[in-house]
Amino acid sequence: MGITAVDVVLPCAIAFVSWRASILLYAYRAYGPSDLYPAFIPLSLPGVTFGMGLIWTWNRRPDGYGNKECIRITPLLWGYSTLYVRSPEVLRQVAGGGSNKTWIKPDWANGSLLLYGQNLATENLEGWRRHRRIMQPSFSRSTYELVWRETTRIYHDMVKTEGWNTQSGSIVSIKAINQLTFKLGLYVIGSCGFGLPEKFTWADPPKGEKGQGNIQSNIASVEKSSLTIQFAPKWIWKLPSKRLRTMWEEYTSLTSFIHTEVAQRKAIIDEALANGGDDALDSVNQDVFSRLVLASQSDGKQALSDSELIGNTFVLLFAGHDTTSSTLAAAIALLAYHTDEQDKAHQEIVKVIEENPQFDFSLSSQLSYITSIFLEAVRLYPAGEVGIRECLEDTMLRIPPSDEKSPPVDVAMPKGSTVVVDFIAMQYHSRQFADPLAFRPSRWAEVGEDSATAFSTGPRACIGKKFAQTEATCFLTNLLRDWRIEPLLNPGETKEQWKTRVLGKVKIVLTLTIADVPVRLVRR
């Protein structure tokens, strides 16, 4: 008798159901009954973040928590049980990930940040401490002063090169302000993080040696295609597909840019060392890139391997521009819609500039409303939407109660458990922020900057927070001083329809970015 389909399908179905049941049972045994975390989601692709992306659209995600601080998701068909949290209290317990032994950033969660090698954002334990020791000193007051100066220079370069008419009342229509903020972000990190102001002029962006696109299109393309580049077999790049060929060329262009810059900076540092030893190094720029290159040439505790040097260069280019640029685009969109907030911001700028004619970094502490606009934009559109941690040993997590009357709950987390800190749900949580859906920059005067969890917290908090904040405050100040921002409406479209089209949409690839923001700038 031949084998029928039933003979094959039935055992497979039994094996599959048993496998999924064992995962559910394991989750039940390890973490206890599900009343604390009742969410069971039917389907998730391998890798929790992808599952989340498919299942919870970004702005509906906070609803998934009901009144709970965290939920456990055990997909019925694929993937393992994971704890999703929206409590700053839990963030504080796990965020140090990699600075201590309990919670680390697992490699599988770093995705394309590992494309060019280990780096500050992906390393753990001693490796992480070494990277942070090297980079931290470059994030100093003198860097922020430079960020302010360079952002202003690049703003003026942009207005001139884009040919904007600067007569009062002139109008500039921009289909996607994101394209400009992304260019700005890249140029500021290129100039201040890499010490390359002469390479980053608005009219002539740096090109990779292989000649495909420019550095900006290279990074954008690599961001989109990083998983293919990382995991696809080599032969696919030989297939006769224009799309694949462009993808590969953009990647190799970016690679050649990074390698060329590293080689040139190495040569400058070698020369300084040969000419006068350590003293001569003072003449070499102390930007973060030079510090990385220097560390790759030293022995002992500070040494960085070539692959770590390249990895950090990439992460700096990427994390240093994509996040800030997208937040700036969101801030501009929010201001275009909320004209009352824009007026308040403009009044602050006029007052501060009137009282302080010098336009430098010292103004930033007085422009608190402008900084609040940035903090509110990053709250509503957190570029880093999740933080993933895995525990290396059995441990406990203290979960705060969802109401004031109940006590906190201690939950056992067996070795190997995963926690996903959900920054979107955290920042839309009414326990943290009253009226969380509203754009209200003034709330930051009450809650204080420490509540800006979009940059994470503790020893592994974002190293570039002040860098981003300085750049954004400076750019918004320049822009709002000179221009009134309005929504650029489609024919027949109302402002409310524009709001739904623009403010309601994001893309989540490696980071969360707002959809294209069409605006009109009216010269004041």
> Least distance in Å: CB of 325 to ligand HEM?
9
Using the minimum distance from each CB to ligand HEM, give the nearer residue, 27 or 386. 386
Q: Please, which of residues 191-220 interact with ligand HEM by CB under 6 A?
A: 193
Dist. CA 157–CA 23, nearest whole Å: 58
Using the minimum distance from each CB to ligand HEM, give the nearer residue, 159 or 331. 331
The HSE-up count of residue 491 (CA atoms within 13 Å, CB side) is 0
Q: In angstroms, how far is CA 504 from the centroid of its own chain?
A: 19
Integer-rounded Cα radius of gyration of the chain: 25
Is residue 479 involved in binding ligand HEM (CB under 6 A)? no
In three-state secondary structure terms, 507 is: strand
Q: Please, which of residues 436-465 interact with ligand HEM by CB under 6 A?
A: 454-456, 460, 462-464
Structure-block tokens of residue 57: 């659209």
> Least distance in Å: CB of 197 to ligand HEM?
16
Q: Which residue number is nearest to ligand HEM in terms of Cβ?
A: 464
Is residue 41 involved in binding ligand HEM (CB under 6 A)? no
- Please list the residues that pair with 396 across neighbouring strands: 412
Q: Please, which of residues 175-194 interact with ligand HEM by CB under 6 A?
A: 189, 193
Which residues, 6+ apart, have CB-to-CB distance to 132 below 8 Å?
A: 120, 459, 463
Candidate residues 90, 294, 352, 378; the one interacting with ligand HEM per rule CB under 6 A: 378
Interface segment toward ligand HEM; rule CB under 6 A; list 241-249, 380-388, 411-419, 439-447: 380-388
> Least distance in Å: CB of 390 to ligand HEM?
12
Using the minimum distance from each CB to ligand HEM, give the nearer residue, 180 or 319. 319
Which residues, 6+ apart, have CB-to-CB distance to 271 below 8 Å?
A: none
Q: What residue type is 378 in one-letter code?
A: V
Dist. CA 266–CA 290, nearest whole Å: 8
Q: Please, which of residues 83-102 interact with ligand HEM by CB under 6 A?
A: none
Q: Provide the phi-psi class of 47: left if phi over 0, else alpha when psi is between -120 and 50, else beta.
A: left
Structure-block tokens of residue 46: 């391998």
Structure-block tokens of residue 206: 């740096």
Dist. CA 371–CA 378, nearest whole Å: 11
Using the minimum distance from each CB to ligand HEM, give the nearer residue, 463 or 521. 463
Q: Which helix (H) or strand (E) holds 218?
A: helix 215-231
> Least distance in Å: CB of 199 to ligand HEM?
17
Contact between 109 and 388 (Cβ < 8 Å): yes
Is residue 467 involved in binding ligand HEM (CB under 6 A)? yes
Q: Please, which of residues 125-164 interact with ligand HEM by CB under 6 A?
A: 132
The CA distances from residue 12 to 9, 17, 44, in Å, are: 5, 9, 20
> Least distance in Å: CB of 147 to ligand HEM?
9
- Site residue total, ligand HEM (CB under 6 A): 26
Using the minimum distance from each CB to ligand HEM, give the nearer residue, 304 or 319. 319
Q: Does 70 belong to an annotated binding site?
A: no
Dist. CA 497–CA 427, nearest whole Å: 25
Using the minimum distance from each CB to ligand HEM, give the nearer residue, 249 or 287. 287
Contact between 471 and 324 (Cβ < 8 Å): yes
**Going residue by residue from 296 to 335, which x/- string records binding to ligand HEM, judged by CB under 6 A?**
-------------------xx--xx--xx--x--------
> Least distance in Å: CB of 5 to ligand HEM?
47
Per the annotation, where are the binding residues for heme?
Answer: 462
Where along the sequence are the contacts to ligand HEM (CB under 6 A)?
120-121, 132, 189, 193, 315-316, 319-320, 323-324, 327, 378, 382-384, 387, 454-456, 460, 462-464, 467-468
